[in-house]
Amino acid sequence: MQINLAQLQQEIDELALISENPPPVVTRVLFSGADLRARRFVKKLCRDTGLNLREDAVGNIFARWEGSDKNLPAVATGSHIDAIPNAGKYDGVVGVLGGIEAIRALKKAGFHPKRSLELLIFTAEEPTRFGLGCVGSRLLGGVLSPQKAATLRSPDGKNFTQWLKQAGCRGKLDSVRLPKNFYSAFIELHIEQGPILERQKISIGIVEKIAAPSTLRLQLTGVGGHAGATLMRGRRDALLAGAEIALAVENAALTTGSPDTVGTTGVFKIEPGAVNSIPCHAHLEIDVRDTNVSTRDAALAKIEKISRRICKQRKIKLDFERLNTDPPAICDAALVRTVSQVCREFKISARKLISRAYHDSLFMARVCPVTMIFIPCRGGISHRPDEYSSPAQIEKGVRVLAKTLAIASLR
Ligand SMILES: [Zn+2]
């Protein structure tokens, strides 16, 4: 089996030019002009590869190579091509274009799949447009209800269904969810977006667990006033309550007893935001993750309890919302073993890893057994224009993916 690296690299470079910003910046926010052009580009590659295309009501794209036994659940791979503002060209793309190359390589090698092989390109892995990541795979996995999805809005107020219509998506949202075991396996190739593989000079990471993400949104309302004329006693300063809450988030994450718990207050906006004015309003968004759902949920409960106490003491009105609390995914032991065996056979160094970022695989785990194949990226850097994986690293990832898909398709 031969991976055509020159062609793959050229396609990665070409797709990177389909961007809302000039190179080296890649910006492809869901359903922007660039995203729609990128979808057409990828669909053409799928057609050129002889794959049968279909799209669901949210624009998830499915490209299928029919196997000899069409009645068996297919084996799936894939990732996303949307990109946050100011991103690079490998996140998601390696799994999509690498997936196409894996299929081309298998075809050229004369392989005949028993189970069909299907490449997926997920809608809205990145949360940029709707404030929620993995919208497409959440709907496929039944983690997001069609009713809830319909209430999503972009910051300009346009709702989800308007966006879908404008992007040319057809059909009903409740037709998107896949039945359990629709696929026999889902294997996603992705850059690590972390430093471990590069640091340890290991070529492949085999993902055993995907951490459980959760997001909180807090609106704090106090009383504003003139910074000079209002005396300190009796102030109801929303920022100070928010600051105490941010410290409580750090403390809650540090004291679960597990090093895998992480808590971040990534958004902290105050109003009116003038030097001579007491902040009357604070908006906080908090991200808490863990590989263990019970320690994660204990941290969330602690944060909520302390937030309520702080706001009560400071006489601040608190609106506390849990935007999402997703369960972690445990990857399929048999698939993890298969990827390990493939790496050994190819004499490619590999180790098992936890994915601390979440991916579409987290939600595909609701449909079927999953695992992920990670390749190193320079400095562990991602979501930046200087994101980079070498052609040699990509080649190894695609080769391992292709062989794993082949084995899974004959199972
Ligand atoms: Zn990604």
**Cα 82 to averaged position of ligand 1 atoms, centre (Å):** 9
For residue 243, give both structure tokens: 């600051």
On the question of pLDDT at 326 being above 90, the answer is no
**Cα 229 to averaged position of ligand 1 atoms, centre (Å):** 50
Q: Return the pLDDT at 387.
A: 96
**Cα 123 to averaged position of ligand 1 atoms, centre (Å):** 12
**Cα 383 to averaged position of ligand 1 atoms, centre (Å):** 9
What number is the average pLDDT over the span 107-119? 98
**Cα 247 to averaged position of ligand 1 atoms, centre (Å):** 30
Q: What is the pLDDT of residues 42-55, one digit of tens each?
A: 999 999 999 999 99
Q: What percentage of the chain carries pLDDT values higher than 70?
A: 100
**Cα 126 to averaged position of ligand 1 atoms, centre (Å):** 8
Q: What percentage of the chain carries pLDDT values higher than 90?
A: 94
Mean pLDDT, rounded, of the chain: 96
**Cα 397 to averaged position of ligand 1 atoms, centre (Å):** 15
Q: How confident is the model at residue 167 (pLDDT cuts 50, 70, 90)?
A: very high
On the question of pLDDT at 155 being above 90, the answer is no
**Cα 95 to averaged position of ligand 1 atoms, centre (Å):** 9
Q: Return the pLDDT at 288.
A: 96
**Cα 164 to averaged position of ligand 1 atoms, centre (Å):** 21
**Cα 92 to averaged position of ligand 1 atoms, centre (Å):** 4
Q: Return the pLDDT at 194.
A: 93
On the question of pLDDT at 131 being above 90, the answer is no
- Max CA-CA distance within the chain? 81
Q: Return the pLDDT at 343.
A: 98
**Cα 244 to averaged position of ligand 1 atoms, centre (Å):** 33
What number is the average pLDDT over the span 327-341? 96
**Cα 94 to averaged position of ligand 1 atoms, centre (Å):** 9
**Cα 181 to averaged position of ligand 1 atoms, centre (Å):** 24
pTM to 2 decimals? 0.89
**Cα 287 to averaged position of ligand 1 atoms, centre (Å):** 18
**Cα 359 to averaged position of ligand 1 atoms, centre (Å):** 6
**Cα 245 to averaged position of ligand 1 atoms, centre (Å):** 30
**Cα 125 to averaged position of ligand 1 atoms, centre (Å):** 7
Q: Return the pLDDT at 245.
A: 98
Q: Return the pLDDT at 323.
A: 87
On the question of pLDDT at 380 being above 90, the answer is yes
What number is the average pLDDT over the span 64-81? 97
Pairing of strands 83-87, 183-191: unpaired
On the question of pLDDT at 212 being above 90, the answer is no
Q: What is the pLDDT of residues 193-205, one digit of tens each?
A: 999 999 999 999 9
**Cα 337 to averaged position of ligand 1 atoms, centre (Å):** 23
**Cα 232 to averaged position of ligand 1 atoms, centre (Å):** 47
**Cα 128 to averaged position of ligand 1 atoms, centre (Å):** 13
